[in-house]
Amino acid sequence: MLSIKNLRASIHGKEILKGINLEVKAGEVHAIMGPNGSGKSTLASVLAGKEGYDVTSGEVIYKGKNLFDYSPEDRAREGIFLAFQYPVEIPGVSTTNFLKTAINEKRKYLGQQPLSSVDFLKMLKAKAKFVELDTEMTSRAVNVGFSGGEKKRNEIFQLAMMNPDLSILDETDSGLDIDALRIVAEGVNKLKTKDNAFVIITHYQRLLNYIVPDYVHVLSDGQIVTSGGKELALKLEELGYDWVEDLADAK
Amino acid sequence: MDLKEKLISDYRLHESKLNGFARGKIYNIKLDAERYFELLGFPNRKQEDWRFTNVNPIITNNYNYDLGAQPQISEEDLQNFLVPGLKANTIVFINGIYSDKHSKIITEKGKAYIGTIKDTQKSNKELIEKYFAGNADYKTDGFTALNTAYMNDGVFIHVSKNTEIKEPVLILNITDSSKGEIMYHPRVLLVAGESSKVSLIEIYESDGENFSFSNAVTEIYSENNSEVHYYKIQNECDKSYHVGTTQVRQERDSRFNSLTVSWGGSVIRNNLNASLQNKGADTIMKGLFIASGNQQIDNHTLVDHASPYCHSNELYKGIMDENSNGVFNGKIMVRKDAQKTNAYQMNKNIILSKSALVNSKPQLEIFADDVKCSHGATTGQLDNEQLFYLKARGIGEKEGKKLLLYAFANEILEDIPIDDLKVYLEKKLSEKLEKNNSLK
């Protein structure tokens, strides 16, 4: 589904991604771990199409198409979902209204009829129940007054509603207590299918106790220095990121 | 001959016709006002209060202000100008001339007197003479002097003590310039008796391709413990000029709650002045202005805390696009004995184009020492982070901007207690944003 080849990207002239290679197939869960400053968020931002980043070389092929040919909104409509690390507040816009607009924009793009209000509400109630979200939250303005944990849960709820093919979770576990973490992980586990894929970007290993990855990649100083199965995450937990830096230096 | 000279000369020649009132107190006030208009004339940019708004386009037209035959309007067109579903006392004026055919009073007579100023002059002379021009000072402002001298008719509302009027009073001013350039002077006088409650809605609409100028004065007396809700909605076109002064006098424990929505008109200047005369008065002023093209929308407010223990709060929001010009000038006066005053003011503006401009000026004159006053102003563009979040969910730039602008403006509309009015304004807001060029 996603093929990243030798991706290099910089911001304000400073190179952050120094040649990323990654293959993600449908049905897979990939974890990307790394110390602060390794380029994790930059990777997520570049894939989502955030302004300010310069892709200096390499390519990203998504479902057979050149990802960089698409605007951020078209990438979303093509089925990419980015769960933000720091979701922004949007006063005056309710989550319900926001999602209805987003879903209907996607449907329009795909040549489908917009969802009626009745059908939309049915879907909203069902998905909210699925990810254990109180529907009261959906009538509030997007992320306004939400605790860190509530914001992350709201991201997972939006994920459930948008039904993406490729979900990129950018440090979804940062700022979550153990209960919230469990609920986020359960949401993801329920939403996993053989047709979609997840890229989970995380600093800590503990989320991976709940969302079991198929592959773990370790990012250090803009490059993936090692990849492996889920045991790699445990090794990292044990040895810390210094071990990774040694690996990177050795390369 | 420029407009001022023409007005003065015509008044002298046709005074009895242009004054329009039988000899008496009001007649004399109008004569006096005309003399003050001669003295004051129209303001210009050298005067601080008019520094940001160019009066020239307003006064360099050849308006007709003779009261001819009543222009006609079809029932269908009229319905388009009213608020769907709203049961209100409806009073319709076309070019300043009262249209009995289209007006209807539904509140029982005992609760409130609602009539035209001309009728009131005949049926309730003493009552109207007690209040007319007692509030809006024609001696210091040229436009107010002009209105007072030239006003032909208007609305007088007197709400009895201890009475709540559930049906709002809706005054629809239609400017019909289809037969030529037109100028007229709407006038309203509202007296809310002690412990009464009333809502007044003024809607301005226009029809026709020629320039027009409506120069309005509304006087409101809010007696002890009364509650007045005031709405001014400006839906005119880009050939319409409007200057309006709403002067409010608040007595002890009175509550005045005002909403001004300005999005139609070429040059609009609203003066909203509230004088808090006695303890416990509460004043809320909210405003929304949306301008594009070459529109100039100027909102000047004055909250005069002339008494201690009063509270005021202002929130005005503007959305400026293309070459438009916006002004928010909020003056708060806290007099020497007005201790324990709480006065707040906020102006937030969003600019959508490089050539749009907003002048935001708070003016705080505080002479008491035990008060809480604050003011703030922000002017900026739409938040890029929010726009990106929306894009990352598949909502494109155009739709995203509309969503954010609607949310921004809607804060002003969300607390409107009259449901039909709220729905009507929200719909108009959506339509306005759809039409906006930056969002095409």
Of B393, B404, B407, the CB nearest to A158: B393
The verdict on a CB contact (< 8 Å) between B389 and A49 is no
* pLDDT on residue B398: 92
Interhelix angle B384-391/B397-413, nearest 10 degrees: 120
Whose CA is closest to B112, among B219, B200, B224, B203?
B200
**Domain membership flag for residue B341:** no
Which ranges in B162-208 belong to alpha helices (H)? none
Q: How far is A15 from chain B (nearest CA, A)?
A: 23
Q: Is B226 in contact with B199 (CB distance < 8 Å)? A: no
Is there a single domain that holds both residue B254 and residue B123?
Answer: yes
Of B278, B299, B316, which closes a domain?
Answer: B278
* pLDDT on residue B440: 63
**pLDDT tens-digit readout, A99-118:** 999 999 999 999 999 999 99
Of B384, B399, B408, the CB nearest to A101: B399
Is there a single domain that holds both residue B244 and residue B388?
Answer: no
Task: Give me the domain span that covers residue A242.
Answer: 2-250
Q: Which residue's entry shows tokens 């078209």?
A: A74
Of B385, B408, B410, the CB nearest to A88: B385
Task: Give me the domain span that covers residue B222.
Answer: 3-278
Q: Is B154 in contact with B186 (CB distance < 8 Å)? A: yes
Q: Kindly tell me if the per-residue pLDDT of A183 is higher than 80.
A: no
* pLDDT on residue A4: 96
Of B392, B404, B410, the CB nearest to A76: B392
Q: How far is B70 from chain A (nearest CA, A)?
A: 45
Q: Is B430's Cβ below 8 Å from some Cβ in A?
A: no
- pLDDT (tens digit, 0 to 9) for every residue of chain B, 440 residues total? 789 999 998 888 888 777 778 888 999 999 999 999 999 999 999 999 999 998 999 998 889 887 777 788 999 999 999 999 999 999 999 999 999 999 999 999 889 999 999 999 999 999 999 999 999 899 999 999 999 999 999 999 999 999 999 999 999 999 999 989 999 999 999 999 999 999 999 999 999 899 999 999 999 999 999 999 999 999 999 999 999 999 999 999 999 999 999 999 999 999 999 999 999 999 999 999 999 999 999 999 999 999 999 999 999 999 999 999 999 999 999 999 999 999 999 999 999 999 999 999 999 999 999 999 999 999 999 999 999 999 999 999 999 999 999 999 999 999 999 999 999 999 999 999 988 766 66
Residue A184 vs residues A99, A153, A178, B305, B321: alpha-carbon distances, Å = 19, 6, 10, 54, 42
* pLDDT on residue A251: 61
Q: Which two tokens stand for residue B64?
A: 């007709």
**Domain membership flag for residue B296:** no
Within a 10 A sphere around the Cβ of B191, how many other Cβ atoms? 27
* pLDDT on residue B437: 67
Provide the pLDDT confidence category of residue A69 given band limits of 50, 70 and 90: very high
Whose CA is closest to B168, among B204, B205, B202, B198?
B198
**Domain membership flag for residue B314:** no
Could you give the CA distance from residue B66 to residue A58 in angstroms, rounded to a whole number? Answer: 76
**pLDDT tens-digit readout, A195-228:** 999 999 988 888 888 888 999 999 999 999 999 9
Instruction: For residue B38, give the 3-state DSSP assignment.
Output: helix
Interface residue ranges in chain A relative to chain B, Cβ cutoff 8 Å: 48-51, 71-73, 76-77, 82, 84, 87-88, 90-93, 97-99, 101-103, 105-106, 109, 141, 158, 162
Instruction: For residue B371, give the 3-state DSSP assignment.
Output: coil
* pLDDT on residue B435: 85
Q: How far is A6 from chain B (nearest CA, A)?
A: 24
**Domain membership flag for residue B227:** yes
Q: Total domain count for chain B? A: 2
**Domain membership flag for residue B326:** no
* pLDDT on residue B306: 97
Q: Is A232 in contact with A218 (CB distance < 8 Å)? A: yes
Cβ neighbours for B255, distance < 8 A, ≥ 6 positions apart: B222, B226, B227, B228, B281, B282, B283, B284
Instruction: For residue B90, give the 3-state DSSP assignment.
Output: strand
Could you give the CA distance from residue A90 to residue A84 in angstroms, rounded to a whole number? Answer: 14
Instruction: For residue A64, give the 3-state DSSP assignment.
Output: coil
Residue B324 vs residues A200, B58, B350, B393, B431: alpha-carbon distances, Å = 47, 16, 12, 32, 19
**pLDDT tens-digit readout, A154-172:** 999 999 999 999 999 998 7
**Domain membership flag for residue B81:** yes
Of B225, B257, B278, which closes a domain?
Answer: B278
DSSP element (H, E) containing B425 = helix B419-435
Question: Quick one: what percent of chain B has pLDDT higher than 70?
Answer: 99
CATH of the domain at A18: 3.40.50.300
Instruction: For residue B2, give the 3-state DSSP assignment.
Output: coil
Q: How far is A73 from chain B (nearest CA, A)?
A: 4
Q: Kindly tell me if the per-residue pLDDT of A131 is higher than 90.
A: no
Q: Is B404's Cβ below 8 Å from some Cβ in A?
A: yes
Interface contacts A/B by beta carbons within 8 Å: 70
Of B230, B249, B278, which closes a domain?
Answer: B278
- Report the mean per-residue pLDDT for chain B: 94
Is there a single domain that holds both residue B258 and residue B395?
Answer: no
* pLDDT on residue A59: 95
Within a 10 A sphere around the Cβ of B370, how many other Cβ atoms? 9
Chain A residues with beta carbon closer than 8 angstroms to that of B386: 88, 90
The verdict on a CB contact (< 8 Å) between B404 and A51 is no
**Domain membership flag for residue B303:** no
The verdict on a CB contact (< 8 Å) between B410 and A101 is no
Question: Quick one: what percent of chain A has pLDDT higher than 90?
Answer: 67
Which amino acid belongs to residue A45? S
Give the residue from chain A lying closest to B397, CA to CA. Answer: A73
* pLDDT on residue B64: 87
Q: Is B396's Cβ below 8 Å from some Cβ in A?
A: yes
Could you give the CA distance from residue B348 to residue A132 in angstroms, rounded to a whole number? Answer: 38
Q: Kindly tell me if the per-residue pLDDT of A2 is higher than 70.
A: yes
Which ranges in B63-179 belong to alpha helices (H)? 75-81, 117-123, 125-131, 142-150
pTM: 0.92
**Domain membership flag for residue B218:** yes
Sign of CA dihedral B396, B402, B405, B410: negative
Is there a single domain that holds both residue B274 and residue B394?
Answer: no
Pairing of strands B112-116, B155-159: antiparallel
Is there a single domain that holds both residue B272 and residue B389?
Answer: no
Q: Which two tokens stand for residue B317?
A: 């929001």
Specify the DSSP class assigned to residue A116: P
Instruction: For residue B105, give the 3-state DSSP assignment.
Output: coil
